[in-house]
Amino acid sequence: MIKKSIKVGLLISALGLGACQQQPDIYNWGEYETTMLAYYKDASHIGAFEAELLALIEQSDVSDKKIGPGIFAEYGYLLLQKGDIEKSVKYFTLEKKN
């Protein structure tokens, strides 16, 4: 009886540890967080932030990972701030589709 209880306990422990395995990230974030933080702290970093967003968008076509949620919208918002309404609408629409 005790041996059976030990075996059941070990089995439950093994199953529990198996569930703790880290899941792979399905999104490609690149250096988004770092460049976004730098831009939010100092708006003069807008060029680096825009370049990172555009690089992520271009990589999404060839990468097996999806582009992170909000990337298209963030880029669309930057375009909107620059006054490029037509392009910004395109990226907001892509965000909605994603």
| Segment 2-12, tens digit of pLDDT | 666 555 555 56
pLDDT per position as a tens digit, 60-95: 777 777 888 999 999 999 999 999 999 999 999 999
Please report whether residue 90 resides in a domain. Answer: yes
Type and span of the H or E element at 20:
none
Please report whether residue 6 resides in a domain. Answer: no
25 has pLDDT over 80: no
Please report whether residue 14 resides in a domain. Answer: no
Cβ distance 67 to 56 under 8 Å? Answer: yes
Structural domain total, the chain:
1
Please report whether residue 7 resides in a domain. Answer: no
Please report whether residue 60 resides in a domain. Answer: yes
Residue span of the structural domain in which 79 resides: 23-97
